[in-house]
Amino acid sequence: MNRRRLIHLFTGVIASAVLAATGCGAKKSPKGARRLKRTGNMGNLLVDEWVKDLKNGSPQKQANAAKELGNMGSNASSALPALESLTSHADETVKTAVNQAIVAIKKKK
């Protein structure tokens, strides 16, 4: 190979590596996207995603979802039935997070 071809090949490899490392052109995952702006329809989508975690997630995911819903305040009022169903959860961390979220959502109504 001549020198020009090697430089061209090397530049292409470097450019590909940079694009891959920065995720340029990659679509965001739903979990990454749900932490965006929390208003309007996007807020409803966020609540729906957190409720899914409450219903089907591990105890760690359930506790995290409850905390996030509590942070949303009255915007997460549609999640109250799902939260209330977990008030007697076996995991103390989940139970505490759920109770705190319920108080926060009702307080900010």
Confidence of residue 22 (pLDDT cuts 50, 70, 90): low
In a domain, 65, yes or no: yes
Structural domains of the chain, count: 1
Least confident of 5-14, 33-42, 56-65, 87-96: 33-42
Comparison of pLDDT for 46 and 79, the residue scoring more: 79
- Residues 6 or more apart whose CB falls under 8 angstroms from that of 106 comprise 80
In a domain, 5, yes or no: no
CA atoms within 13 A on the CB side of 34: 17
In a domain, 42, yes or no: yes
pLDDT of residue 36: 43
pLDDT of residue 102: 96
Least confident of 18-27, 81-90, 91-100: 18-27
The secondary structure of residue 26, as a DSSP letter, is P
Q: Residue 47: which domain range? A: 28-107
% of the chain at pLDDT higher than 90: 53
In a domain, 78, yes or no: yes
In a domain, 10, yes or no: no
Dist CA 60 CA 27 (whole Å): 26
Spatial contact of 94 and 86, defined as CB atoms under 8 Å apart:
yes
What confidence tens digit (pLDDT) does each residue in 24-72 have?
A: 655 455 554 444 444 456 667 889 999 999 999 999 999 999 999 999 9
In a domain, 37, yes or no: yes
Residue 39: count of CB within 10 angstroms of its CB:
10
Backbone angles phi, psi at 28, to 5 degrees: -75, 145
Dist CA 4 CA 36 (whole Å): 45
The secondary structure of residue 34, as a DSSP letter, is T
- Summary mean pLDDT of the chain: 80
Spatial contact of 105 and 82, defined as CB atoms under 8 Å apart:
no
In a domain, 20, yes or no: no
In a domain, 66, yes or no: yes
**What CATH number does residue 60 fall under?**
1.25.10
